[in-house]
Amino acid sequence: MAFTRRNRFKDGFSNGPKRALLLALISVSAVLALTLILKQRIKLGSAPPSSSIKSGEDYILLQLDPSFKPALPKQNDLSLSLEERNRLPPRNTDLFPSLAKDHIKIVLYVHNRPKYLDIVVRTLSKVDGISETLLIVSHDGYFREMDNIIQGIRFCQVKQIFAPYSPHLFPDSFPGMSPGDCRDKDNPVEKNCQGNTDQYGNHRSPKIVSLKHHWWWMMNTVWDGLPETRNFNGHILFIEEDHFILPNAYRNLQLLVELKPRKCPECYAVNLAPSDVKSRGEGWASLIAEKMGNIGYAFNRTVWRKIHMKAKEFCNFDEYNWDITMWSTVYPSFGKPVYSLRGSRASAVHFGKCGLHQGQGAASACIDDGELKFAVEETDRVCNINADWSVHFFSKQSGYKAGFKGWGGWGDERDRRLCLSFAYIYHLHRSNQ
Ligand SMILES: *[C@@H]1O[C@H](CO)[C@@H](O)[C@H](O)[C@H]1NC(C)=O
């Protein structure tokens, strides 16, 4: 007993300083390792462990602006009730109880063109494989006809979300128009109104800014907010209310996603259509890698993290189009050409009203009296991409790139702040609620 006690005491006494040193060493290396891990994460742009809210916050604060205070406008009843609806689970789980193992989720973002949406939904219902996946429909504003069309879908699981801060939901306050707001080229001193002009001297217009706000809110919500998608590690496809989706779109998409790492490691995404929206593709026996297009694009969480890291660039650029903002600021900041992989025949086509655009070839799609004038050929019904094809690269393409100063429409500090706030909402506890 005495021996043991003495020994212990002696041990404790003589090893004390060594232990302290060891502890200190361990702490220092732990801190070093953590710093390294964090740095590595930022470099790779991969997601923080989703299980730990704390490390998620640190991660966002480190990569975005630690001094920025996100702030959201005061919500009205409509905005609150729609946000409540966003929490509802997907519909049609009785018909489609589970999603296929390697499914690609689809996000359809819409505003208010029910005749167009009706066509898109009809084409989606004929897409081979659609029943294997979840369709998320993101609404900019609340429009009953649009809501009804989506509620009528029975061909796959469907989840509806509504942008709760859409300018269309706020008739007399920001992000809509507030009573004291300047319009057009008003002089704030003369008119005693509020607002910042864009680089061309124009004040904000809620209708014009709504699209970029919606796109950015939707991206943040889908990747980092919704329980149905925030832990999803596959690809997500994004389409719009004026994109005709051909029956082979989903099977082509699956094959492109599978081929991308092998055939085009430098590709960030896959596309269902050429970046030139008027083209239906080359029809070659080859895959095509070219700049990112805005019709039917799909990418994964790694790429989202890289985009999200550029929130400040996205939100502070004086350009009201989300896609031109991406081409002019976000993609160029990646430091390498941002290629996207696609087949050489489009399986998604942009359409508009017939006769509105001059000089379009017979390949273009248009609607007249709610009917689509467009021929689906046999080759558009089944996967028409061959896994043995090599990749043809289109480099040095024309179009928007770094250096373009923007078409304006995005000069108001309130829009920039709201936009940047969307990048924080799912990573920080809301400070104002
Ligand atoms: C996501 O896609 C990028 C670009 O194709 C690729 O480098 C990355 O490995 C992918 N991430 C995962 C988790 O598959």
pLDDT at position 370 is: 83
CATH among 3.90.550.10, 3.30.470.20, 3.40.1190.20, 3.40.720.10 for 77-422: 3.90.550.10
What one-character-per-residue DSSP string does 71-93 give?
A: --PPP-HHHHHHHHHHTSPPB-T
Structure confidence at residue 335 (pLDDT): 93
Consult the annotation and say whether 214 binds a ligand.
Answer: no
The answer to whether 242 is a known ligand-binding residue is yes
What's phi and psi for 240, nearest 5 deg?
A: -120, 170
Q: Whose CA is nearest to atom 4 of ligand 1?
A: 268
Instruction: Kindly give the distance from the C-alpha atom of residue 90 to the centroid of ligand 1, in angstroms, as a whole number.
Output: 27
Q: Identify which has the larger pLDDT, 185 or 64.
A: 185
Q: Kindly report the CA angle at 46 between 44 and 48, in degrees rounded to 5?
A: 130
Q: What letter does residue 49 receive in the DSSP assignment?
A: P
**What is the CA(300)–ligand 1 centre distance, in A?**
6
The reported pLDDT for the residue numbered 39 is 43
| Nearest atom in ligand 1 to 265's CA | 5
What whole-number distance in Å separates Cα of residue 433 and Cα of residue 430? Answer: 6
So what's the pLDDT on residue 371?
Answer: 85
Mean pLDDT of 318-325: 98
pLDDT of residue 7: 38
Collect all residues with Cβ–Cβ distance below 8 Å to 417 and sequence separation of at least 6: 71
Q: Which residue has the higher pLDDT, 370 or 253?
A: 253
Report whether residue 302 contacts ligand 1, using a CB cutoff of 6 Å: yes
213 close to 415: Cβ distance less than 8 angstroms: yes
Say what the pLDDT of residue 41 is: 39
Closest atom of ligand 1 relative to the 300 alpha carbon: 1
Using CB atoms within 10 Å of the CB of residue 199, give its burial: 0 to 12 exposed, 13 to 18 middle, 19+ buried: middle
Q: Alpha-carbon distance 317 to 319, whole Å? A: 6
What percentage of the chain exceeds 90 in pLDDT?
A: 76
- pLDDT, tens digit (0-9, with 9 covering 90-100), for 393-432: 999 899 999 999 999 999 999 999 999 999 999 987 544 4
What pLDDT was estimated at residue 225?
A: 97
| Lowest mean per-residue pLDDT among 29-43, 78-92, 150-164 | 29-43
Q: Is 388 annotated as a binding residue?
A: no
Give the residue whose CA is nearest to atom 10 of ligand 1.
302
pLDDT (mean) for 312-341: 97
What is the pLDDT, as a whole number, of residue 17?
46
Rg (C-alpha) for the chain, rounded Å, is 25
Q: How many Cβ atoms are within 10 Å of 80's Cβ, its own excluded? A: 11
> How high is the pLDDT of residue 65?
81
Give percent of the chain above pLDDT 70.
Answer: 82
Is pLDDT of 362 > 70? no
What separation in Å is there between the alpha carbon of 127 and the centre of ligand 1? 26
For 143, list phi and psi in degrees, rounded to 5.
-135, 120
Answer with the residue of higher pLDDT: 36 or 124. 124
Does residue 259's CB lie within 6 angstroms of at least one atom of ligand 1? no
pLDDT of residue 430: 40
Q: Indicate the pLDDT class of residue 369, thresholds 50, 70 and 90.
A: confident
Average pLDDT, the chain: 87
Least confident of 125-134, 165-174, 289-298, 368-377: 368-377
- What is the rounded average pLDDT of the residues 294-299? 98
Q: Which amino acid is at 281?
A: G
Residue ranges per structural domain of the chain: 2-63, 77-422
Tell me how far apart the alpha carbons of residues 181 and 171 are, in angstroms, rounded to a whole number. 13
Q: Which atom of ligand 1 is nearest to the CA of 264?
A: 5
Read off the pLDDT of each residue in 223-228 and give the average, rounded to a whole number: 97
Mean pLDDT of 345-356: 89
Whether 141 has a pLDDT exceeding 60, the answer reads yes
- Of 152, 77, 157, 145, which is closest to residue 111 (Cα–Cα)? 145
Query: 260 CB under 6 A from ligand 1?
Result: yes
Complete edge-to-edge strand list for the sheet that includes strand 134-139: 157-162, 134-139, 105-110, 236-240, 297-299, 267-271, 339-342, 287-291, 391-393
pLDDT tens profile 8-67: 333 333 344 445 555 555 555 554 554 444 444 333 333 444 444 445 556 666 677 878
Does ligand 1 have an atom closer than 6 angstroms to the CB of 117?
no
pLDDT in tens, 235-256: 999 999 999 999 999 999 999 9
Testing ligand 1's pocket by substitution, the residue of 303, 331, 336, 340 carrying the most ligand atoms inside 8 A of its CB is 303
Atom of ligand 1 nearest to the CA of 269: 5
Q: Is the CB of 268 under 6 A from ligand 1?
A: yes
235 pocket-lining for ligand 1 (C-beta < 6 Å): no
Arithmetic mean of pLDDT, 317-326: 98
